Amino acid sequence: MENCAPSLWRRRIFRTLVFLIGTLVPVCNLSVAAPKSQDPHAALVELAGRLVDQESRLIMARAAVFRAAEFKPQSDTTPSQAERAYARRHPDSPARSQAIDSPFESRESELRDHADIRSALQELRHVERELANVRSQYLTLVEQSLNVLGEEETSRLVRLGLLVKATVNDKKEWISQEFSDPVLLNFDDHTGFAQIFDGRTLEGWDGDPAIWHVMNGAIVGTVTWEHPISNGYIVYHGTTARDFDLKLEIKVKGSAGSGIQYRSVVGLPFSWTVPGIEPTDPRWLMTGPQADFWPLFSIFNGQVYSENTPLRILAWRGQVVNSARGRKPQLIADIGNRVELGNSVRLDGWNQYEIVARGCTLIHIINGQLMSVEIDDDPASSNNAAGLIGIELEGMPPSTVAVRNIWLRKLL
C-alpha cells in the first residue's frame, strides 16, 4: 500500500488532463478564414490553444509538487502528505474533502524547508500566474469578438462557463464570467449622471459675482489685484449628496489654488483670515471635504482635505488613510510616490477629476490615476454627512480657475 498514493494521483492527473483537453479543445474549432491579424477567430484559436497548453503545464507543475512532498501514508485510510498539501493550497478541489489533521499542521514547516519542494512550489506559482494572464487575454478577446461569433460558438462558451448574460449600460450583453479584465472607464460616459452646469448660465449656482462668471462653456473664477480674496467659493444649491460619483474637468492659470467641495455646508465663519483682506461672506464660504487641486504646489493635487475644520489634510496624495474618533489617523497603504503621481496632472491644460464617495470612503482620481483615499470610521464626522457641492478659488492674483462638464450621479 505504500506506493498506492503516487499511482492514484497519476491516474487522477491523467483523467483531469483528458477532461480539460476534452472541454477546451472544442473552443479551438472556431473557423479560421483570414490571417490572425485580421480575423478574431484566428486569435481566439491561438489563445485557446495556449490555454490548453497552460492548463497542461499547471497539471504537471502540481504533480511535481506532489512528488516532492510525498511521504509514506500513516495508514490505509490516512491521506498522504501530498494530498493534504494540495488540499490546503486548493480548498475548492475534491481533495479538500479529506480531513487535514494536526499532524500535518506541525509538518508543513518541515515540508517548506526542503529545497526541491520550494522549487516545485515556485514553479507552480509561476505557472498559475501565466495561466491567469492567458485566461484574461482570451476572455477579453471573447468579449470583443462576440459580434462575429455564431450562435453555436456562443452557446459552447456559455456551456463552458466562460460567458454569462449581464446588464451593461442598461442593456443585456454577454460578458466573460471570470478572469477577464474590467472594462476601462469611459470618462465621457454619463449614463445615470445628471449635468449640474448647463455650460451657459449659473442656474442653481451661487457665488460672489465679482469673482464668478461663465465663459466659453466653463464656470470661471478670477482673482485680481483690484479684488484680492482669501478664499472664494461658488456653491451648487440644486441638490445635496452623500454617496455619489462626480465628474468634471478643471484648469488653473496663474498661482491660484482650487478644489472641489462636497458633503459641505455654508454659513460658518472662516477659521482663519488674511490680514488686510475682507473675510469671505459666510453664505459663500464652504466647510467640509475637498478634492484639492493646486498646480503651483503640486504635492497637494488630489489629496483629501477638510476645508475650514481642524482636520485639515486627511489623506495626502499617494495615501490610503483610515481615521476614527479618539485616535491619530493611520496610513493603511501607499498608492505610489507622491512626487511621481504628480506627473499625471496637466499643469497648463484641462484635467479630468473624479470623486467617488461611498459611505465612509472618499476616493479622488485625476486623469484616470488614483490619487488618495480616506476612510473615516467616525459616523459623526463632518466627512460622512450629506452636503453641498462647490468650487473653490484662492491664491495670489492674477489667477483663474475654470471648471466645465460637471456631471453628478447621486446615489444617496
And the C-alpha cell for 327?
Answer: 485616535
Q: Please indicate, yes or no, whether the overall pTM of this predicted structure exceeds 0.85.
A: no
Which among 273, 268, 290 is positioned nearest to 231, based on CA atoms? 273
pLDDT at 278: 78
Whether residue 31 has pLDDT greater than 50: no
Taking the C-alpha atoms of residue 264 and residue 258, their distance in angstroms, rounded to an integer, is 15
User: Nearest 5°: CA angle at 321, between 317 and 325?
Assistant: 135
pLDDT at 168: 54
pLDDT at 42: 76
pLDDT at 186: 86
In this structure, of 92-101, 291-300, 377-386, the range with the lowest mean pLDDT score is: 92-101
More confident residue, 17 or 391: 391
In the chain, domain spans = 4-176, 194-410
Question: Mean pLDDT across the chain, nearest whole number?
Answer: 78
Mean pLDDT of 49-53: 80
Sign of CA dihedral 287, 292, 296, 299: positive
- Residue for cell digits 449600460? 169
User: Nearest 5°: CA angle at 47, between 45 and 52?
Assistant: 95
List, for residues 299-311, the tens digit of each pLDDT value: 899 999 999 999 9
Taking the C-alpha atoms of residue 320 and residue 245, their distance in angstroms, rounded to an integer, is 19
Torsion of the alpha carbons at 134, 137, 142 and 147, rounded to the nearest 10: -160
Whether residue 177 has pLDDT greater than 60: no
In which band, very low, low, confident or very high, does the pLDDT at 184 lie, cut at 50, 70 and 90?
confident
In which band, very low, low, confident or very high, does the pLDDT at 238 lie, cut at 50, 70 and 90?
very high
What is the CATH code for 194-410? Answer: 2.60.120.560
Is residue 364 within 8 A of residue 180, CB to CB? The reply is no
What is the crossing angle of helices 115-144 and 40-69, to 10°?
160
In which band, very low, low, confident or very high, does the pLDDT at 72 lie, cut at 50, 70 and 90?
very low
Taking the C-alpha atoms of residue 48 and residue 27, their distance in angstroms, rounded to an integer, is 6
Taking the C-alpha atoms of residue 235 and residue 152, their distance in angstroms, rounded to an integer, is 56
